[in-house]
Structure 1
Amino acid sequence: MAVRACGLVVFRLLANCVPPLDNIEYLLLQTSYGEHHWTPPKGHVDPGEDDLTTALRETQEEAGLLAEDLRLVDGFVQQLRYEVRGRPKEVLYWLAELKDPDAALTLSDEHQDYRWARLEEACTLAKYKDMQDTLRAAHRYLEAQRDKR
């Protein structure tokens, strides 16, 4: 059976950017273990916990962001499947906007750094293709939502 984890692709909108679509930055956390890879906040589902609750809890534990600091974006969920040390893993990501772009973050011991990055830098930091694809899908989704306004 696959290990299951859930997380949030957290983004913030910056004011007065030109062009306007360039005002989206994504939150990535750098692990303090292993290869020190960069990833959005995520973690394992606790027994009896639903997936979205896990994503919100892990974001609070890893980045210090509370549910009330965030606005979930309706209609976006991305599922990743890959292997970690020969075992299958499944990760679900929701998309969430940080309401206050200047809100302070508090990292857990699991992470040594964080960065707000525009899409291409975020993809470079993320390194893994499935994570890059998730960030690009989130960006396309946000652009499509903006075009509907």
Structure 2
Amino acid sequence: MQDAPADMPETKACGFLIVKGNPIETFLLMRHKDRWDLPKGHVDPGEDEMTCALRELEEETGIMASQIEVDPNFRYSLQYVVHYKKRMGGVTALKTAVYFLATLTDDVELNLTEHLGAEWFSWNPPHAIQEQTIDPLLAAVAAHVSS
């Protein structure tokens, strides 16, 4: 984690790494203008982590909770400093991102609402996609499924 001042505002987002296959064959990433990301979003007041992750998954991909099987033994969290241009009035904040692991149980047609595209990547660890967030998550999943 990057060093952050003690008085820095904090924010939390939750999401999923969605995979296909057992063992894992592919995983889903969402395309932003300049990077890959996972379906995730900020926690609403009074919302728990799983509720947030499921809500964001459906909002951003159209994948419903009934179409996935959540791994109850996997929860990955990381923190990093972000600068929000619009959200939170242009402030710099300490962001906690929490990710859960789920296997897609039904074939679905993605309904993208917030991303330029999406792609199913082959599961072939180790991965080198995005050093700060995605790569450590994928490494944690790889260790989890091989244990």
TM-score w.r.t. length of structure 1: 0.80
Measured in 1, the distance between the counterparts of 2:61 and 2:126 equals 17
| Unmatched tracts of structure 2, length 5 or more | 1-8, 84-91
1:50-61 paired onto structure 2 within 5 Å:
50-61=48-59
Match of 1:48 in 2: 46
Q: Aligned residue for 1:105?
A: 110
What is aligned with 1:131? 134
Question: Within 2, Cα distance between the matches of 1:88 and 1:56?
Answer: 23
Q: 1:65 to 1:122 in 2, by over 3 A?
A: farther
The SS at the match of 1:47 is coil
Amino acid at match of 1:55: A
Which residue does 1:27 correspond to in 2? 28
Structure 1: tracts of 5 or more residues without a match: 15-20, 145-149
CA distance in 2, matches of 1:119, 1:87: 32
- More helix by percentage: 1
| Paired-residue identity, % | 33
**Superposition RMSD in Å:** 1.9
1:122 Cα offset (Å): 9.0
In structure 2, the residue matched to 1:147 is none
Which portions of structure 1, spanning 4 or more consecutive aligned residues, are displaced by more than 3 angstroms? Answer: 119-125
Q: How many residues align?
A: 131
Match of 2:100 in 1: 94
TM-score with structure 2 length normalisation? 0.81
Alignment partner, residue 114 of structure 1: 118
